[in-house]
């Protein structure tokens, strides 16, 4: 892909997000994933990990609509500006901690139907270190499934291709019945990011 086209695509989704009042161009990644895989339903309880600024949570609120009974819990270390929808609840904190995970399950009065994560680690530009940080974050999200995801629930998360990428996929396949990877059109083509669609959580090991 030429630099011009990459820049054009970036600007296209940025401008579209502004026009349609989404907080991030990343909203279109989830919209495209949901259109292809039918991931979200109006009655689902959804947990959005690493949610700031809230673009993915906005998409979930759109799916829930006015009649749906679902809830979206958006979790991040950073403050998330409230979304004007009664289904939206923000939690400021570290989602890897037991305290925050307990808060999540209390809010939804049980476990989630879907876990979302578009979170990225802080990258330093050193390939080996960045690969480790990406793998570490993705593994943390995967491990949280044991505590907050329903049996047969689904996980949609970002992962980065690198040395440990296949190891992550192998771990996912042990926990979920089906695992697929994809890159939505709104992702930058030159980026190493991929999106994992893991369906049918087998439940935590006893």
What's the predicted TM-score (pTM) here?
0.89
Residue 6 lies in a domain: no
Residue 17 lies in a domain: no
DSSP 31-59: HHHHHHH----TT-EEEEET-TT-HHHHH
pLDDT for 16-62, tens place per residue?
Answer: 767 667 788 889 999 999 999 999 999 999 999 999 999 999 999 99
Residue 1 lies in a domain: no
Residue 14 lies in a domain: no
Which residues are known to be catalytic?
158
What are the start-end ranges of the H helices in the chain? 3-19, 27-37, 55-64, 98-107, 127-148, 165-175
Residue 148 lies in a domain: yes
Q: How many domains does the chain have?
A: 1
Residue 5 lies in a domain: no
pLDDT of residue 177: 98
Residue 50 lies in a domain: yes
Residue 118 belongs to domain spanning: 28-201
Give me the CATH number covering residue 170: 3.40.50.150
């Amino acid at each position: 892909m030429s630099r011009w086209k990459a820049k054009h695509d970036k600007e296209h989704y940025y401008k579209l997000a502004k026009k349609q009042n989404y907080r991030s161009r990343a909203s279109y990644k989830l919209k495209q994933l949901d259109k292809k895989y039918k991931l979200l339903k109006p009655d689902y309880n959804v947990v959005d990990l690493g949610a700031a600024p809230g673009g993915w949570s906005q998409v979930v609120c759109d799916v829930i609509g006015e009649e749906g009974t679902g809830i979206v819990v958006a979790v991040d270390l950073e403050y998330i500006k409230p979304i004007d929808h009664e289904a939206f609840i923000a939690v400021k904190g570290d989602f890897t901690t037991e305290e925050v995970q307990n808060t999540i399950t209390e809010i939804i009065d049980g476990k989630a139907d879907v876990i979302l994560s578009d979170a990225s680690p802080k990258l330093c530009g050193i390939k080996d270190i960045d690969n480790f940080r990406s793998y570490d974050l993705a593994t943390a999200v995967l491990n949280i499934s044991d505590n907050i995801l329903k049996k047969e629930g689904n996980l949609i998360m970002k992962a980065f291709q690198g040395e440990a990428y296949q190891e992550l996929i192998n771990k996912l396949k042990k926990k979920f019945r089906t695992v697929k990877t994809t890159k939505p059109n709104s992702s930058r083509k030159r980026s190493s990011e991929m999106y994992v669609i893991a369906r049918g959580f087998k439940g935590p090991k006893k």
